[in-house]
């Protein structure tokens, strides 16, 4: 059942669910609505609260980040490793939302 729900959830639905929850938890949220004129691969969502910074690439279940997205995530992960849990980079899927994994990160 959860697998079917995850596969049926579209990326924009996942984005809205995460943004709504993040805002309820006091996070500032940024999402580029039209990325056609932006740097290729930049993550879908940037979240900031209380000295923490999260970059999240959102994907439909079963999809993988593009080469450009992987490049950004790799570099952001290097920054995250230097800042001891104040900066994080994730790839999030609907199954992460449905399992509560994303909510746990945003608490």
Q: In the predicted model, what is the mean pLDDT of the chain?
A: 93
Which DSSP helix (H) or strand (E) runs through 103?
helix 101-106
Sign of the CA dihedral running 20, 21, 25, 29: negative
d(CA 17, CA 23): 10
- Identify the CATH number of the domain in which residue 94 sits: 3.40.1350.10
pLDDT tens for each residue of 16-31: 999 999 999 999 999 9
Statement: the pTM of the whole predicted model exceeds 0.85: yes
**Residue numbers of the domain that contains 85:** 2-106
What is the count of structural domains for the chain? 1
Q: What is the pLDDT of residues 55-95, one digit of tens each?
A: 999 999 999 999 999 999 999 988 877 776 788 999 999 99
Residue of higher predicted confidence among 66 and 38: 66
Q: Cα separation of 10 and 45, whole Å?
A: 15
Q: What is the DSSP string of 21-83?
A: HHHHTT-EEE--S-GGGSPTT--SEEEEETTEEEEEEE--TT----HHHHHHHHHHHHHHHHT
């Amino acid at each position: 059942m959860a697998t079917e729900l995850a596969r049926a959830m579209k990326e924009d639905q996942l984005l809205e669910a995460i943004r709504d929850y993040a805002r309820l938890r006091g996070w500032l949220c940024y999402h580029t609505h039209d990325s056609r004129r932006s740097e290729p691969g930049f993550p879908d969502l940037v979240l900031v609260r209380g000295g923490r910074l999260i970059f999240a690439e959102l994907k439909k279940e079963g999809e993988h980040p593009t080469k450009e997205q992987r490049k950004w995530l790799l570099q952001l992960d290097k920054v995250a490793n230097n800042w001891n849990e104040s900066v994080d980079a994730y790839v999030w899927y609907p199954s992460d939302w449905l399992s509560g994994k994303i909510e746990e990160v945003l608490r």
